[in-house]
Protein backbone atom coordinates (compact mmCIF):
# COMPACT_ATOMS: atom_id res chain seq x y z
CA UNK A 1 0.00 0.00 0.00
CA UNK A 2 1.14 3.52 -0.56
CA UNK A 3 1.97 5.93 2.02
CA UNK A 4 -0.15 8.01 4.18
CA UNK A 5 2.04 9.16 6.95
CA UNK A 6 5.74 9.55 7.29
CA UNK A 7 5.93 9.99 11.01
CA UNK A 8 6.65 7.01 13.15
CA UNK A 9 8.31 7.61 16.49
CA UNK A 10 11.79 6.09 16.84
CA UNK A 11 11.89 3.51 19.60
CA UNK A 12 15.18 4.86 20.96
CA UNK A 13 17.09 8.07 20.37
CA UNK A 14 19.64 7.59 17.56
CA UNK A 15 18.04 4.37 16.44
CA UNK A 16 16.31 4.39 13.12
CA UNK A 17 12.56 3.78 13.27
CA UNK A 18 10.92 0.85 11.51
CA UNK A 19 9.59 3.39 9.02
CA UNK A 20 13.15 4.45 8.14
CA UNK A 21 14.49 0.90 8.03
CA UNK A 22 11.65 -0.06 5.72
CA UNK A 23 12.30 2.91 3.46
CA UNK A 24 16.04 2.20 3.35
CA UNK A 25 16.02 -1.58 2.93
CA UNK A 26 12.74 -3.08 1.78
CA UNK A 27 11.77 -3.46 -1.87
CA UNK A 28 7.98 -3.24 -1.93
CA UNK A 29 5.95 -4.86 -4.70
CA UNK A 30 4.35 -2.46 -7.19
CA UNK A 31 5.95 0.65 -5.75
CA UNK A 32 7.11 3.86 -7.37
CA UNK A 33 10.49 4.16 -5.67
CA UNK A 34 10.88 7.79 -6.68
CA UNK A 35 7.99 8.87 -4.46
CA UNK A 36 8.41 6.05 -1.95
CA UNK A 37 11.88 7.17 -0.89
CA UNK A 38 10.44 10.60 -0.10
CA UNK A 39 7.28 9.51 1.66
CA UNK A 40 7.99 6.01 2.94
CA UNK A 41 5.33 3.54 3.96
CA UNK A 42 2.30 3.36 6.09
CA UNK A 43 3.26 0.76 8.66
CA UNK A 44 0.45 -1.41 9.95
CA UNK A 45 1.24 -2.54 13.47
CA UNK A 46 -1.92 -4.18 14.74
CA UNK A 47 -4.85 -5.98 13.21
CA UNK A 48 -8.02 -7.31 14.76
CA UNK A 49 -11.30 -8.40 13.20
CA UNK A 50 -12.26 -5.91 10.51
CA UNK A 51 -9.68 -3.33 11.59
CA UNK A 52 -5.98 -2.57 11.27
CA UNK A 53 -4.05 0.06 13.21
CA UNK A 54 -1.13 1.98 11.77
CA UNK A 55 1.97 3.14 13.58
CA UNK A 56 0.40 6.50 14.38
CA UNK A 57 -2.39 4.72 16.26
CA UNK A 58 -4.99 5.33 13.57
CA UNK A 59 -7.58 2.54 13.37
CA UNK A 60 -8.80 1.77 9.86
CA UNK A 61 -11.61 -0.42 8.56
CA UNK A 62 -9.97 -2.92 6.22
CA UNK A 63 -12.04 -2.79 3.03
CA UNK A 64 -9.62 -5.04 1.12
CA UNK A 65 -8.94 -7.91 3.55
CA UNK A 66 -5.21 -7.21 3.50
CA UNK A 67 -4.97 -8.03 -0.20
CA UNK A 68 -8.03 -10.15 -1.05
CA UNK A 69 -6.97 -12.67 1.54
CA UNK A 70 -7.82 -12.17 5.23
CA UNK A 71 -11.21 -13.79 4.75
CA UNK A 72 -11.89 -14.77 8.38
CA UNK A 73 -10.77 -11.36 9.64
CA UNK A 74 -7.62 -10.39 11.48
CA UNK A 75 -6.07 -11.52 14.74
CA UNK A 76 -7.79 -14.82 15.46
CA UNK A 77 -6.41 -16.52 18.58
CA UNK A 78 -7.56 -19.90 17.24
CA UNK A 79 -5.30 -19.49 14.19
CA UNK A 80 -2.36 -18.48 16.38
CA UNK A 81 -2.93 -21.55 18.58
CA UNK A 82 -3.15 -23.91 15.59
CA UNK A 83 0.04 -22.50 14.12
CA UNK A 84 1.89 -22.65 17.45
CA UNK A 85 0.67 -26.19 18.12
CA UNK A 86 1.88 -27.40 14.73
CA UNK A 87 5.27 -25.76 15.23
CA UNK A 88 5.67 -27.62 18.51
CA UNK A 89 4.31 -30.94 17.16
CA UNK A 90 6.31 -30.97 13.94
CA UNK A 91 7.64 -27.74 12.52
CA UNK A 92 8.93 -28.95 9.16
CA UNK A 93 10.15 -32.00 7.40
CA UNK A 94 11.13 -32.90 3.84
CA UNK A 95 8.10 -33.39 1.53
CA UNK A 96 10.09 -34.97 -1.33
CA UNK A 97 9.60 -38.52 -2.51
CA UNK A 98 7.65 -40.67 -0.10
CA UNK A 99 7.98 -38.38 2.93
CA UNK A 100 4.72 -36.81 4.18
CA UNK A 101 3.15 -34.93 7.07
CA UNK A 102 -0.28 -35.18 8.66
CA UNK A 103 -1.70 -31.65 8.04
CA UNK A 104 -0.77 -31.75 4.33
CA UNK A 105 -2.49 -35.13 3.95
CA UNK A 106 -5.59 -33.99 5.90
CA UNK A 107 -5.82 -30.79 3.89
CA UNK A 108 -5.39 -32.68 0.60
CA UNK A 109 -8.42 -34.79 1.50
CA UNK A 110 -10.45 -31.72 2.56
CA UNK A 111 -9.64 -29.91 -0.68
CA UNK A 112 -10.66 -32.96 -2.69
CA UNK A 113 -14.03 -32.96 -0.84
CA UNK A 114 -14.69 -29.24 -1.12
CA UNK A 115 -13.58 -28.71 -4.71
CA UNK A 116 -15.78 -29.41 -7.72
CA UNK A 117 -15.77 -32.70 -9.63
CA UNK A 118 -12.76 -34.95 -9.46
CA UNK A 119 -10.02 -32.44 -8.56
CA UNK A 120 -8.72 -35.05 -6.17
CA UNK A 121 -5.00 -34.28 -6.20
CA UNK A 122 -3.13 -31.25 -4.94
CA UNK A 123 0.31 -29.81 -5.55
CA UNK A 124 1.20 -27.40 -2.76
CA UNK A 125 3.32 -24.29 -3.19
CA UNK A 126 3.82 -20.97 -1.44
CA UNK A 127 1.23 -18.62 -2.98
CA UNK A 128 -0.79 -17.80 -6.07
CA UNK A 129 2.12 -17.16 -8.44
CA UNK A 130 3.90 -20.40 -7.63
CA UNK A 131 0.58 -22.29 -7.82
CA UNK A 132 0.02 -20.90 -11.34
CA UNK A 133 3.59 -21.73 -12.34
CA UNK A 134 2.99 -25.27 -11.10
CA UNK A 135 -0.25 -25.45 -13.12
CA UNK A 136 1.59 -24.60 -16.35
CA UNK A 137 4.41 -27.03 -15.67
CA UNK A 138 1.86 -29.76 -14.97
CA UNK A 139 0.01 -28.93 -18.22
CA UNK A 140 3.23 -29.20 -20.24
CA UNK A 141 4.28 -32.40 -18.50
CA UNK A 142 0.80 -33.87 -19.00
CA UNK A 143 0.81 -33.37 -22.76
CA UNK A 144 4.40 -34.56 -23.04
CA UNK A 145 3.37 -37.73 -21.22
CA UNK A 146 0.50 -38.15 -23.66
CA UNK A 147 2.98 -38.02 -26.52
CA UNK A 148 1.99 -34.49 -27.55
CA UNK A 149 5.01 -32.40 -26.54
CA UNK A 150 4.09 -29.77 -29.17
CA UNK A 151 0.86 -28.96 -27.35
CA UNK A 152 2.32 -26.19 -25.17
CA UNK A 153 0.57 -22.93 -25.86
CA UNK A 154 -1.44 -21.29 -23.12
CA UNK A 155 -4.19 -18.81 -23.88
CA UNK A 156 -4.74 -16.16 -21.22
CA UNK A 157 -6.60 -12.84 -21.29
CA UNK A 158 -5.66 -9.20 -21.40
CA UNK A 159 -5.97 -7.56 -18.00
CA UNK A 160 -5.75 -10.91 -16.19
CA UNK A 161 -3.57 -11.08 -13.09
CA UNK A 162 -1.91 -14.41 -12.42
CA UNK A 163 1.12 -13.39 -10.36
CA UNK A 164 4.67 -12.14 -10.41
CA UNK A 165 7.01 -15.10 -10.84
CA UNK A 166 8.23 -15.18 -14.44
CA UNK A 167 5.68 -17.61 -15.88
CA UNK A 168 2.81 -16.21 -13.79
CA UNK A 169 3.83 -12.74 -14.97
CA UNK A 170 3.79 -13.99 -18.56
CA UNK A 171 0.24 -15.27 -18.05
CA UNK A 172 -0.73 -11.90 -16.62
CA UNK A 173 -2.39 -9.66 -19.18
CA UNK A 174 -1.67 -6.30 -17.54
CA UNK A 175 1.03 -5.71 -20.08
CA UNK A 176 2.42 -2.49 -18.64
CA UNK A 177 3.74 -4.50 -15.72
CA UNK A 178 6.16 -6.34 -18.03
CA UNK A 179 8.18 -3.35 -19.12
CA UNK A 180 11.91 -3.75 -18.47
CA UNK A 181 11.73 -7.48 -17.85
CA UNK A 182 12.62 -10.34 -20.19
CA UNK A 183 9.62 -11.53 -22.19
CA UNK A 184 9.72 -15.00 -20.69
CA UNK A 185 6.97 -17.21 -22.05
CA UNK A 186 6.23 -15.08 -25.09
CA UNK A 187 6.73 -18.15 -27.28
CA UNK A 188 3.94 -20.04 -25.54
CA UNK A 189 1.62 -17.55 -23.81
CA UNK A 190 -0.99 -15.73 -25.91
CA UNK A 191 -3.65 -13.26 -24.83
CA UNK A 192 -7.19 -12.68 -25.98
CA UNK A 193 -9.66 -9.98 -24.91
CA UNK A 194 -10.77 -9.61 -21.32
CA UNK A 195 -14.46 -10.14 -20.69
CA UNK A 196 -15.14 -6.51 -19.82
CA UNK A 197 -18.87 -5.87 -20.10
CA UNK A 198 -18.57 -2.18 -19.27
CA UNK A 199 -16.02 -1.58 -22.04
CA UNK A 200 -17.96 -3.44 -24.72
CA UNK A 201 -18.95 -1.38 -27.77
CA UNK A 202 -21.94 0.90 -27.29
CA UNK A 203 -25.20 -0.74 -28.29
CA UNK A 204 -23.85 -4.30 -28.21
CA UNK A 205 -25.97 -6.62 -26.06
CA UNK A 206 -24.31 -8.77 -23.41
CA UNK A 207 -25.27 -11.84 -25.43
CA UNK A 208 -23.69 -10.52 -28.62
CA UNK A 209 -20.59 -9.56 -26.63
CA UNK A 210 -20.35 -13.09 -25.27
CA UNK A 211 -20.63 -14.45 -28.85
CA UNK A 212 -17.81 -12.12 -29.87
CA UNK A 213 -15.53 -13.24 -27.03
CA UNK A 214 -16.14 -16.93 -27.62
CA UNK A 215 -15.66 -16.42 -31.37
CA UNK A 216 -12.37 -14.63 -30.78
CA UNK A 217 -11.18 -17.53 -28.62
CA UNK A 218 -12.06 -20.04 -31.34
CA UNK A 219 -10.33 -17.93 -33.95
CA UNK A 220 -7.16 -17.71 -31.87
CA UNK A 221 -7.14 -21.48 -31.38
CA UNK A 222 -7.49 -21.87 -35.15
CA UNK A 223 -4.62 -19.44 -35.74
CA UNK A 224 -2.32 -21.20 -33.28
CA UNK A 225 -3.47 -24.67 -34.32
CA UNK A 226 -5.50 -26.70 -31.82
CA UNK A 227 -2.74 -29.31 -31.81
CA UNK A 228 -0.47 -26.64 -30.27
CA UNK A 229 -2.84 -25.23 -27.66
CA UNK A 230 -2.58 -26.88 -24.25
CA UNK A 231 -4.65 -24.76 -21.87
CA UNK A 232 -6.83 -21.74 -21.27
CA UNK A 233 -6.47 -19.90 -17.96
CA UNK A 234 -9.06 -17.54 -16.49
CA UNK A 235 -10.11 -16.00 -13.20
CA UNK A 236 -13.87 -16.60 -12.70
CA UNK A 237 -14.10 -12.87 -11.94
CA UNK A 238 -11.05 -10.91 -12.94
CA UNK A 239 -9.72 -9.36 -9.74
CA UNK A 240 -6.79 -6.97 -9.95
CA UNK A 241 -7.75 -6.29 -13.59
CA UNK A 242 -10.78 -4.40 -12.28
CA UNK A 243 -13.30 -6.88 -10.82
CA UNK A 244 -14.55 -7.68 -14.31
CA UNK A 245 -17.61 -9.93 -14.36
CA UNK A 246 -17.92 -11.86 -17.62
CA UNK A 247 -21.19 -11.97 -19.57
CA UNK A 248 -23.63 -14.67 -18.54
CA UNK A 249 -22.63 -18.11 -19.83
CA UNK A 250 -19.12 -17.00 -20.87
CA UNK A 251 -17.06 -19.44 -18.78
CA UNK A 252 -19.30 -22.38 -19.64
CA UNK A 253 -19.01 -21.64 -23.35
CA UNK A 254 -15.23 -21.11 -23.13
CA UNK A 255 -14.94 -24.47 -21.42
CA UNK A 256 -17.03 -26.15 -24.12
CA UNK A 257 -14.59 -24.78 -26.72
CA UNK A 258 -11.68 -26.17 -24.66
CA UNK A 259 -13.29 -29.61 -24.47
CA UNK A 260 -13.81 -29.70 -28.25
CA UNK A 261 -10.10 -29.09 -28.84
CA UNK A 262 -8.56 -31.18 -26.02
CA UNK A 263 -7.50 -27.97 -24.27
CA UNK A 264 -7.31 -27.93 -20.47
CA UNK A 265 -9.32 -25.31 -18.58
CA UNK A 266 -7.45 -23.72 -15.65
CA UNK A 267 -9.52 -21.70 -13.19
CA UNK A 268 -7.39 -19.23 -11.25
CA UNK A 269 -9.44 -19.03 -8.06
CA UNK A 270 -6.73 -17.37 -5.99
CA UNK A 271 -9.21 -14.60 -5.14
CA UNK A 272 -12.65 -16.11 -5.79
CA UNK A 273 -12.33 -19.26 -3.64
CA UNK A 274 -12.81 -19.70 0.10
CA UNK A 275 -15.93 -17.67 0.50
CA UNK A 276 -15.30 -14.44 -1.34
CA UNK A 277 -18.28 -15.18 -3.59
CA UNK A 278 -20.15 -17.10 -0.89
CA UNK A 279 -18.90 -20.54 -2.02
CA UNK A 280 -15.81 -22.64 -1.36
CA UNK A 281 -15.05 -22.40 -5.07
CA UNK A 282 -16.86 -20.29 -7.65
CA UNK A 283 -16.19 -22.35 -10.79
CA UNK A 284 -19.03 -24.84 -10.64
CA UNK A 285 -21.27 -23.33 -7.97
CA UNK A 286 -21.58 -19.96 -9.73
CA UNK A 287 -20.20 -20.26 -13.25
CA UNK A 288 -21.18 -23.86 -14.04
CA UNK A 289 -17.69 -24.84 -15.13
CA UNK A 290 -15.68 -27.88 -14.17
CA UNK A 291 -12.00 -26.92 -14.38
CA UNK A 292 -9.35 -29.50 -15.15
CA UNK A 293 -7.00 -27.52 -12.90
CA UNK A 294 -8.00 -25.14 -10.13
CA UNK A 295 -5.51 -22.77 -8.55
CA UNK A 296 -6.00 -21.47 -5.03
CA UNK A 297 -4.03 -19.43 -2.47
CA UNK A 298 -4.81 -16.35 -0.33
CA UNK A 299 -8.13 -17.24 1.39
CA UNK A 300 -7.04 -20.88 1.81
CA UNK A 301 -5.25 -19.74 5.00
CA UNK A 302 -6.92 -16.32 5.16
CA UNK A 303 -3.44 -14.92 4.62
CA UNK A 304 -2.22 -15.90 8.09
CA UNK A 305 0.59 -17.84 6.49
CA UNK A 306 1.54 -18.35 2.81
CA UNK A 307 0.15 -21.34 0.93
CA UNK A 308 -0.72 -22.12 -2.68
CA UNK A 309 -2.63 -25.14 -3.94
CA UNK A 310 -2.87 -26.42 -7.53
CA UNK A 311 -5.70 -28.95 -7.71
CA UNK A 312 -5.74 -31.35 -10.64
CA UNK A 313 -8.29 -33.85 -11.96
CA UNK A 314 -8.06 -37.61 -11.75
CA UNK A 315 -7.50 -37.72 -15.52
CA UNK A 316 -4.45 -35.46 -15.32
CA UNK A 317 -3.13 -37.31 -12.28
CA UNK A 318 -3.43 -40.66 -14.04
CA UNK A 319 -1.28 -39.39 -16.89
CA UNK A 320 1.40 -37.49 -14.95
CA UNK A 321 1.82 -40.20 -12.36
CA UNK A 322 3.08 -42.68 -14.94
CA UNK A 323 6.89 -42.79 -14.90
CA UNK A 324 8.47 -41.16 -17.94
CA UNK A 325 11.10 -43.84 -18.05
CA UNK A 326 12.45 -46.63 -15.89
CA UNK A 327 12.94 -45.02 -12.44
CA UNK A 328 11.68 -41.62 -13.69
CA UNK A 329 10.10 -39.22 -11.17
CA UNK A 330 7.78 -36.21 -11.28
CA UNK A 331 10.65 -33.76 -10.96
CA UNK A 332 8.94 -30.64 -9.70
CA UNK A 333 9.78 -29.83 -6.12
CA UNK A 334 9.62 -27.00 -3.63
CA UNK A 335 11.17 -27.23 -0.18
CA UNK A 336 7.97 -25.87 1.34
CA UNK A 337 5.48 -27.94 -0.67
CA UNK A 338 2.84 -28.98 1.86
CA UNK A 339 4.45 -27.07 4.73
CA UNK A 340 2.83 -28.55 7.84
CA UNK A 341 2.35 -25.20 9.58
CA UNK A 342 0.64 -23.65 6.53
CA UNK A 343 -1.55 -26.72 6.03
CA UNK A 344 -2.51 -26.75 9.74
CA UNK A 345 -3.46 -23.06 9.38
CA UNK A 346 -5.59 -23.87 6.32
CA UNK A 347 -7.42 -26.66 8.15
CA UNK A 348 -8.24 -24.35 11.06
CA UNK A 349 -9.25 -21.59 8.65
CA UNK A 350 -11.70 -23.97 6.95
CA UNK A 351 -13.03 -25.12 10.33
CA UNK A 352 -13.67 -21.50 11.37
CA UNK A 353 -15.47 -20.76 8.10
CA UNK A 354 -17.68 -23.81 8.58
CA UNK A 355 -18.42 -23.26 12.27
CA UNK A 356 -19.24 -19.58 11.83
CA UNK A 357 -21.14 -20.18 8.58
CA UNK A 358 -19.06 -17.51 6.90
CA UNK A 359 -19.95 -18.64 3.37
CA UNK A 360 -23.70 -18.01 3.65
CA UNK A 361 -22.90 -14.85 5.61
CA UNK A 362 -20.66 -13.63 2.78
CA UNK A 363 -23.33 -14.46 0.19
CA UNK A 364 -25.98 -12.50 2.11
CA UNK A 365 -23.81 -9.56 3.12
CA UNK A 366 -22.24 -9.55 -0.34
CA UNK A 367 -25.65 -9.09 -1.95
CA UNK A 368 -26.30 -6.16 0.40
CA UNK A 369 -22.86 -4.70 -0.34
CA UNK A 370 -23.43 -4.84 -4.11
CA UNK A 371 -26.86 -3.24 -3.77
CA UNK A 372 -25.64 -0.52 -1.44
CA UNK A 373 -22.71 0.26 -3.77
CA UNK A 374 -25.08 1.01 -6.65
CA UNK A 375 -25.83 4.31 -4.88
CA UNK A 376 -22.36 5.49 -5.97
CA UNK A 377 -23.66 5.72 -9.54
CA UNK A 378 -25.28 9.04 -8.60
CA UNK A 379 -21.80 10.60 -8.78
CA UNK A 380 -20.91 12.14 -12.14
CA UNK A 381 -17.52 10.47 -12.22
CA UNK A 382 -18.72 6.96 -11.39
CA UNK A 383 -19.25 5.15 -14.67
CA UNK A 384 -19.81 1.62 -13.45
CA UNK A 385 -20.22 -0.30 -10.20
CA UNK A 386 -20.09 -4.05 -10.48
CA UNK A 387 -19.07 -7.24 -8.77
CA UNK A 388 -20.43 -10.18 -6.94
CA UNK A 389 -20.35 -11.25 -3.31
CA UNK A 390 -17.54 -9.45 -1.54
CA UNK A 391 -15.70 -8.34 -4.70
CA UNK A 392 -16.54 -4.88 -5.94
CA UNK A 393 -15.12 -2.67 -8.68
CA UNK A 394 -15.89 0.99 -9.30
CA UNK A 395 -14.89 2.65 -12.60
CA UNK A 396 -14.12 6.37 -12.47
CA UNK A 397 -14.73 8.28 -15.70
CA UNK A 398 -14.56 11.84 -16.99
CA UNK A 399 -17.75 11.40 -18.99
CA UNK A 400 -20.40 8.81 -18.27
CA UNK A 401 -21.87 8.93 -21.77
CA UNK A 402 -18.61 8.29 -23.61
CA UNK A 403 -16.96 6.35 -20.74
CA UNK A 404 -13.88 8.46 -21.37
CA UNK A 405 -11.29 7.86 -18.67
CA UNK A 406 -10.25 10.56 -16.23
CA UNK A 407 -6.80 11.94 -17.10
CA UNK A 408 -4.12 9.95 -15.27
CA UNK A 409 -2.55 13.19 -14.00
CA UNK A 410 -5.63 13.83 -11.83
CA UNK A 411 -4.82 10.68 -9.81
CA UNK A 412 -8.51 10.28 -9.06
CA UNK A 413 -8.43 6.79 -7.55
CA UNK A 414 -5.35 7.59 -5.48
CA UNK A 415 -6.95 10.80 -4.18
CA UNK A 416 -10.19 9.02 -3.35
CA UNK A 417 -8.20 6.30 -1.58
CA UNK A 418 -6.56 8.96 0.58
CA UNK A 419 -9.94 10.55 1.22
CA UNK A 420 -11.28 7.18 2.39
CA UNK A 421 -8.32 6.71 4.74
CA UNK A 422 -9.01 10.15 6.23
CA UNK A 423 -12.50 8.80 6.89
CA UNK A 424 -11.12 5.63 8.51
CA UNK A 425 -11.54 3.17 5.63
CA UNK A 426 -8.98 1.40 3.42
CA UNK A 427 -9.93 0.84 -0.23
CA UNK A 428 -7.67 -0.10 -3.14
CA UNK A 429 -6.92 2.26 -6.02
CA UNK A 430 -5.96 0.54 -9.30
CA UNK A 431 -5.58 2.82 -12.30
CA UNK A 432 -8.91 4.60 -12.65
CA UNK A 433 -10.70 2.12 -10.47
CA UNK A 434 -11.47 1.54 -6.83
CA UNK A 435 -11.51 -2.08 -5.78
CA UNK A 436 -12.97 -3.61 -2.65
CA UNK A 437 -12.81 -7.04 -1.04
CA UNK A 438 -13.59 -6.82 2.70
CA UNK A 439 -13.17 -9.80 5.05
CA UNK A 440 -16.11 -12.23 4.97
CA UNK A 441 -17.04 -11.26 8.55
CA UNK A 442 -18.05 -7.76 7.39
CA UNK A 443 -21.44 -6.61 8.72
CA UNK A 444 -24.08 -4.63 6.84
CA UNK A 445 -23.27 -1.63 9.05
CA UNK A 446 -19.60 -1.88 8.01
CA UNK A 447 -20.67 -2.12 4.35
CA UNK A 448 -22.55 1.15 4.92
CA UNK A 449 -19.44 2.73 6.47
CA UNK A 450 -17.28 1.68 3.49
CA UNK A 451 -19.72 2.95 0.86
CA UNK A 452 -20.34 6.22 2.76
CA UNK A 453 -16.59 6.87 3.03
CA UNK A 454 -16.16 6.28 -0.70
CA UNK A 455 -19.12 8.48 -1.53
CA UNK A 456 -17.81 11.34 0.62
CA UNK A 457 -14.29 10.96 -0.77
CA UNK A 458 -15.63 11.02 -4.35
CA UNK A 459 -17.68 14.13 -3.57
CA UNK A 460 -14.60 15.84 -2.09
CA UNK A 461 -12.52 14.90 -5.14
CA UNK A 462 -15.21 16.16 -7.53
CA UNK A 463 -15.49 19.44 -5.60
CA UNK A 464 -11.70 19.91 -5.79
CA UNK A 465 -11.79 19.39 -9.58
CA UNK A 466 -14.51 21.97 -10.05
CA UNK A 467 -12.82 24.40 -7.70
C1 LIG B 1 -6.09 -14.12 -9.47
C2 LIG B 1 -4.71 -14.12 -8.89
N3 LIG B 1 -3.84 -15.07 -9.23
C4 LIG B 1 -2.60 -15.12 -8.73
C5 LIG B 1 -2.15 -14.15 -7.86
C6 LIG B 1 -0.75 -14.19 -7.34
O7 LIG B 1 -0.77 -14.61 -6.03
P8 LIG B 1 0.49 -14.32 -5.06
O9 LIG B 1 0.62 -12.85 -4.96
O10 LIG B 1 0.10 -15.02 -3.79
O11 LIG B 1 1.68 -14.95 -5.69
C12 LIG B 1 -3.01 -13.13 -7.48
C13 LIG B 1 -2.57 -12.09 -6.55
O14 LIG B 1 -3.23 -11.12 -6.28
C15 LIG B 1 -4.33 -13.11 -8.01
O16 LIG B 1 -5.17 -12.11 -7.70
Looking at the structure, do residues 64 and 95 belong to the same domain, yes or no?
Answer: no
Euclidean distance between CA atoms 165 and 132, whole angstroms = 9
| Residue 59 Cα to ligand 1 middle (Å) | 27
- 293-332 pLDDT, tens per residue? 999 999 999 999 999 999 999 999 999 998 888 878 888 9
Looking at the structure, do residues 44 and 123 belong to the same domain, yes or no?
Answer: no
5 within domain boundaries: no
Looking at the structure, do residues 64 and 90 belong to the same domain, yes or no?
Answer: no
Any atom of ligand 1 within 6 Å of the Cβ of 391 = no
- When the pLDDT of each residue in the chain is averaged and rounded to a whole number, the result is 95
Euclidean distance between CA atoms 384 and 392, whole angstroms = 10
Query: H helices within 264-405, ranges in order?
Result: 282-285, 314-320, 340-355, 358-373
CA geometry: angle at 408 spanning 406 and 414, to 5°?
Answer: 95
Atom of ligand 1 nearest to the CA of 306: 10
Domain end (from 355, 389, 407): 355
Any atom of ligand 1 within 6 Å of the Cβ of 283 = no
428 within domain boundaries: yes
Give the CATH number for residue 210. Answer: 3.40.640.10
Are 304 and 125 in contact, with CB atoms under 8 Å apart?
no
Quick one: what percent of the chain has pLDDT higher than 90? Answer: 89
162 within domain boundaries: yes
Looking at the structure, do residues 315 and 226 belong to the same domain, yes or no?
Answer: yes
Looking at the structure, do residues 451 and 371 belong to the same domain, yes or no?
Answer: yes
Give the CATH number for residue 459. Answer: 3.90.1150.10
Number of independent structural domains in the chain: 2
Query: What does the pLDDT read at residue 37?
Result: 84
218 within domain boundaries: yes
Looking at the structure, do residues 187 and 287 belong to the same domain, yes or no?
Answer: yes
Euclidean distance between CA atoms 8 and 57, whole angstroms = 10
Euclidean distance between CA atoms 80 and 192, whole angstroms = 43
Are 254 and 277 in contact, with CB atoms under 8 Å apart?
no
Looking at the structure, do residues 37 and 95 belong to the same domain, yes or no?
Answer: no
Looking at the structure, do residues 55 and 36 belong to the same domain, yes or no?
Answer: yes
Euclidean distance between CA atoms 319 and 281, whole angstroms = 25
Any atom of ligand 1 within 6 Å of the Cβ of 129 = yes
Looking at the structure, do residues 298 and 392 belong to the same domain, yes or no?
Answer: no
Any atom of ligand 1 within 6 Å of the Cβ of 127 = yes
Atom of ligand 1 nearest to the CA of 129: 11
Domain end (from 326, 355, 384): 355
Any atom of ligand 1 within 6 Å of the Cβ of 275 = no
Any atom of ligand 1 within 6 Å of the Cβ of 395 = no
47: which strand partners?
52
State how far the alpha carbon of 76 is from the alpha carbons of 1, 86, 303, 384, 464, in Å.
23, 16, 12, 35, 41
CA geometry: angle at 314 spanning 308 and 320, to 5°?
Answer: 75
- 194-253 pLDDT, tens per residue? 999 999 999 999 999 999 999 999 999 999 999 999 999 999 999 999 999 999 999 999
* Residue 290 pLDDT level (bands cut at 50, 70, 90): very high
* Residue 11 pLDDT level (bands cut at 50, 70, 90): low
Any atom of ligand 1 within 6 Å of the Cβ of 162 = yes
261 within domain boundaries: yes
Quick one: what percent of the chain has pLDDT higher than 70? Answer: 97
Any atom of ligand 1 within 6 Å of the Cβ of 163 = yes
- 44-64 pLDDT, tens per residue? 999 999 999 999 999 999 999
Average pLDDT over residues 438-461: 98
Among 13-17, 75-79, 82-86, 371-375, the minimum mean pLDDT is found in 13-17
Q: Is the pLDDT of residue 13 over 70?
A: no
Domain end (from 336, 355, 374): 355
Any atom of ligand 1 within 6 Å of the Cβ of 66 = no
307 within domain boundaries: yes
Looking at the structure, do residues 237 and 295 belong to the same domain, yes or no?
Answer: yes
| Residue 306 Cα to ligand 1 middle (Å) | 12
Q: Count CB atoms within 10 A of the CB of residue 189.
A: 22
Euclidean distance between CA atoms 182 and 95, whole angstroms = 32
Atom of ligand 1 nearest to the CA of 269: 1
Q: Is the pLDDT of residue 103 over 70?
A: yes
Looking at the structure, do residues 317 and 440 belong to the same domain, yes or no?
Answer: no
- 106-160 pLDDT, tens per residue? 999 999 999 999 999 999 999 999 999 999 999 999 999 999 999 999 999 999 9
Return the higher-pLDDT residue of 79 and 1: 79
Looking at the structure, do residues 309 and 435 belong to the same domain, yes or no?
Answer: no
Domain that holds residue 443: 16-72+358-466
6 within domain boundaries: no
Residue with the nearest Cα to atom 8 of ligand 1?
128
Query: What does the pLDDT read at residue 7?
Result: 46
Any atom of ligand 1 within 6 Å of the Cβ of 156 = no
Amino acid sequence: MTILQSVTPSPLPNERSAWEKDRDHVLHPYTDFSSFTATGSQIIEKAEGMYVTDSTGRRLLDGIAGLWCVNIGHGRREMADAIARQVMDMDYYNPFGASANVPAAELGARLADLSPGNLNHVYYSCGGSTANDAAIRIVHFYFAMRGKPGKRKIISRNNAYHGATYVAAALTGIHGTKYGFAQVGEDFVHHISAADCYARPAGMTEEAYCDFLVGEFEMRIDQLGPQNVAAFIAEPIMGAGGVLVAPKGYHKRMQAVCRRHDILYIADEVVTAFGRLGEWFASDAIFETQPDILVSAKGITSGYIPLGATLISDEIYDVISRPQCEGGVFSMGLTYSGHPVACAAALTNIAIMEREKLLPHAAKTGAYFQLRAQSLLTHDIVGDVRGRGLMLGIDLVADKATKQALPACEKAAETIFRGCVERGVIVRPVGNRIILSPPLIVSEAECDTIISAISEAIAAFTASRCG
